[in-house]
Amino acid sequence: MNKVIIGRPEDLDRTVIAAVARGACHLELAPGLVGALTRSRRSTLAALEGRVVYGVNTGMGAMSGLRLDAEAQRRHQDNLMIGRAVGSAPWLRRDQARALLAARLRTFLDPAAGVSPELCRRLADLLNADVVPAIPARGSGAAGEIIPLAHAGAALLGVGQVLDAGPIGAGGAVDASSAFAEAGLAPRSFGPKEGIAFLEGVPGLTGLAVLGSAAARVLIDQVVVGAAASHTVIRASLDPLQPALADSDELRVVLESLRDLRGKAEPGALQAPVSFRVTAPALAVAMRAVAGVEAAVDRALNAVTDSPAHLDGEFVGTFGFAGTDLTASLGALTTALVHLAELGAARLHRLLDPRVTGLAPQLSHSPGLHAGMAAVHKRAAGVTHRLRRFAVPALTGAIETSLGQEDVQSFGFEAAECLDEVLTGLRDVLACELLAVVQAQRLGAPSSSTLDDIDAALPPGTADRPFGRDLDRIVSLLSAGTARGAADDQFGTEQGRPAG
């Protein structure tokens, strides 16, 4: 496994975070960075002397006016985790929780956090040993990520839970203490200010955005391939793909890819259905939305997320826990992907129309006796309808908590969950379209080689069969990265696409 040596905070960028999330590399903190962390920690501890600092020698939230005595302060940083670990399953997936830890580590490398190099090393140790805290995926209704981060912190203390190392979904969560012992690790308490630092910021949302944007790039490129294959089946006019229509780099890439993949068959009609003609700009919008999420991630990784942050010798309350930028950008991407699903369902419906394709109605093996792709389209319609509810912006809907101390939330985890649901649904709709394209090609429609892997994975023939099994196979292939064209390489390289 590759080792990545982190010599400065910027080295742990979204590309590395994505690789860490997949378990594709080990992290090591360079001696120079450890030295810098040691100095910032020493400076932070010195600045704490004789000061009233929120969350260090005071209560939290509405209890911030209560001063803690010396004995209470010694227990306080650990207690911050234990009493706030109120979540339950469903847990974040293993890659999602690892992305959270990696993003948390990145923000701790900023001197403003003032945490010890030992805490940073412990996070790297957990990732390298693949001991992954069980972190709730839902119910984080706070100004920030206090509840999910408390679960991660409780795991470090040895009193929380970690994900079972077995197959996904096999065992759920197990006690952290036993997992630590098996990995040769020991639980670790939080030192002065380290507990409040651990609970602040939006590392979970940041990590989830890294994974979501990477998955969206792959899926958008697969939609390009699927849309081009549908264009080929109906012999759509090339007019809407003319280079002169490009008003942005993203649209230029999409138009080029669709033209390259479209095939050479002469147009079958003067104009293609609208769903075919407007696919290119919709794909360009989605590409811009992905870039917007990636830019928001970069800003989050470089921002001061601690509150209070140690800045120029003072402790300053900040807004680094808000997650507004990331939540808004995830909402924009989610909406763009829902629209792609709507267009995919519409294109699929046109593929069933003999007036558009010149093939048998419903792409049926024997019209009347065999249903063909009619029920496949119904599945796509049902999935698309379900996705629309996830396009509701998560940024709205503030609810007061903590006796009014927290009167606004960004609901970032909810925004990430909406994106994840839409990625899954769009992949499902695309699988339905690709199955119809393969069926059409087997019935004599113009074809290209872009879907050869998918065609080969399906049973032979065009007669009715339990097509749900075919769709499961296609979804698995898409999840593994099959059916990708040139758009991802061109656009992803220009935008610094993260590994994933």
Q: What are phi and psi of 144, to 5 degrees?
A: 125, -150
Q: List all residues 6 or more positions away from 81 whose beta carbon is below 8 Å from its beta carbon.
A: 150, 153, 154, 156, 157, 160, 190, 195, 198, 199
Q: Select from 1.10.3720.10, 1.20.200.10, 3.40.50.1220, 3.30.70.2190 the CATH code of 207-494.
A: 1.20.200.10
Contact 304, 227 (CB under 8 A): no
- pLDDT exceeds 90 at position 111: no
Q: pLDDT class for 41, splitting at 50, 70, 90?
A: very high
CA gap 436, 373 in Å, rounded: 6
Q: Dihedral, CA atoms, 208, 15, 426, 170, nearest 10 degrees?
A: -60
Q: Say which residue, 404 or 318, is predicted with more confidence.
A: 318
The per-residue pLDDT for 496 is 38
- pLDDT exceeds 80 at position 203: yes
DSSP states of 194-263 as a string? HHHHHHSS-HHHHHHHHHHHHHHHHHHHHHHHHHHHHHHHHT--SGGG-GGG--SHHHHHHHHHHHHHS-
Overall average pLDDT of the 326-354 stretch: 98
CA gap 271, 443 in Å, rounded: 23
Residue 225 is encoded by which pair of tokens? 């391939």
Mean pLDDT of the residues in the chain: 92
Integer Rg of the chain from CA: 26
The per-residue pLDDT for 25 is 96
Q: What are phi and psi of 47, to 5 degrees?
A: -70, -25
pLDDT over 70 for what percent of the chain? 96
CB atoms within 10 A of CB 479: 15
Q: pLDDT class for 491, splitting at 50, 70, 90?
A: low
Could you read off the pLDDT of 29-39 as tens digits, one per residue? 999 999 999 99
CB atoms within 10 A of CB 288: 18
Q: pLDDT class for 495, splitting at 50, 70, 90?
A: very low
The per-residue pLDDT for 398 is 81
Overall average pLDDT of the 113-130 stretch: 96
The per-residue pLDDT for 167 is 55
What are the Cα distances from residue 399, in Å, to 1, 37, 83, 396? Answer: 45, 38, 21, 10
- pLDDT exceeds 70 at position 486: no
The per-residue pLDDT for 166 is 66
- pLDDT exceeds 50 at position 15: yes
Helix (H) or strand (E) holding 6: strand 2-6
The per-residue pLDDT for 408 is 84
The per-residue pLDDT for 64 is 77
Q: Say which residue, 1 or 219, is predicted with more confidence.
A: 219
| DSSP secondary structure code for residue 361 in this structure | G
What are the Cα distances from residue 296, in Å, to 49, 137, 171, 333? Answer: 36, 21, 35, 12
Overall average pLDDT of the 59-68 stretch: 81
The per-residue pLDDT for 171 is 57
Contact 442, 461 (CB under 8 A): yes
What are the Cα distances from residue 370, in Å, to 431, 433, 460, 500? Answer: 20, 18, 16, 41
The per-residue pLDDT for 109 is 95
- pLDDT exceeds 80 at position 332: yes
**Coil, helix or strand for 268?**
coil
Helix (H) or strand (E) holding 87: none
Overall average pLDDT of the 39-64 stretch: 88
Q: Where are the domains of the chain?
A: 2-198, 207-494
State which fold the 2-198 domain adopts. Answer: Fumarase C; Chain B, domain 1 (1.10.275)
Query: β-strand 314-316 against 309-311: which pairing, if any?
Result: antiparallel
Could you read off the pLDDT of 442-483 as tens digits, one per residue? 999 998 788 999 999 999 999 999 999 999 999 999 999 988
